[in-house]
A and B are shown apart, each in its own frame.
Chain A
Amino acid sequence: AQSVTQLDSHVSVSEGTPVLLRCNYSSSYSPSLFWYVQHPNKGLQLLLKYTSAATLVKGINGFEAEFKKSETSFHLTKPSAHMSDAAEYFCVVSDASGTYKYIFGTGTRLKVLA
């Protein structure tokens, strides 16, 4: 069975400092992993994805994530936070079992302080 755990429900950083949002997963199959961002009253925007190619994935807006199979982790990072990064972030896993389903983490709310 698949599962996703986002280790922090809230993260606060100062503008210009690094961002780390943590995600651990469990999957019986070769997983695909995604990070989505959601601003208030908006849909989900894809930040980046891992689908068994390079383990270090670069996404939009300066975000990147590293797939670490030994640690079953897919943490999201950004070197320097911007005020516009304040939003809800979801880590999502999908496996190759053919169910076409996606398991969402509970989300991490990122707050960026001026």
Chain B
Amino acid sequence: DAMVIQNPRYQVTQFGKPVTLSCSQTLNHNVMYWYQQKSSQAPKLLFHYYDKDFNNEADTPDNFQSRRPNTSFCFLDIRSPGLGDAAMYLCATSRDIPLAETWRTQYFGPGTRLLVL
């Protein structure tokens, strides 16, 4: 089945040690998103890619970076994780083809839970 895959499901890192989370998709969607979700809160958009174009949210800390080497893969890099960065990180995709069945529908991966020690 076509899907959004996130690895690993759980990631433990040390304070200040760079960490990379990965997302891949077999849906061939052109838009990919990274969200941060803290306990009992709604997901918060960090940034998104429309094709190769990177779009950062104004309040996303510089500590968070992203790469999209091709259509299928997207990475979230946290350069110096702090204790406040412990959260669930969700990857999502969508396809910008008007009137298609999946138009404007986001599909989410299972998430990566990050723990910072």
- Give residues in A with beta carbon < 8 Å to B: 32, 34, 36, 41-46, 49, 51, 90, 92, 94, 100-102, 104-107
- Give residues in B with beta carbon < 8 Å to A: 4, 6, 31, 40-43, 45, 48, 50, 55, 88, 90, 92, 94, 96, 103-111, 113
A92 to B43, CA, bound (A): 11
Contact A90 B113 (CB under 8 A): no
With a cutoff of 8 Å between Cβ atoms, the chain A residues found around residue B45 in the complex are 101-102
A90 to B107, CA, bound (A): 14
Query: Chain B: interface secondary structure?
Result: strand
Contact A51 B103 (CB under 8 A): yes
A51 to B41, CA, bound (A): 26
Closest to B48 in A: A100
In the assembled complex, 10 residue pairs joining A and B whose CB atoms fall closer than 8 Å, in A order, are: A32-B105, A34-B106, A44-B92, A46-B105, A46-B106, A46-B107, A94-B104, A101-B45, A107-B40, A107-B41
Contact B105 A49 (CB under 8 A): yes
With a cutoff of 8 Å between Cβ atoms, the chain B residues found around residue A46 in the complex are 105-107
A45 to B106, CA, bound (A): 9
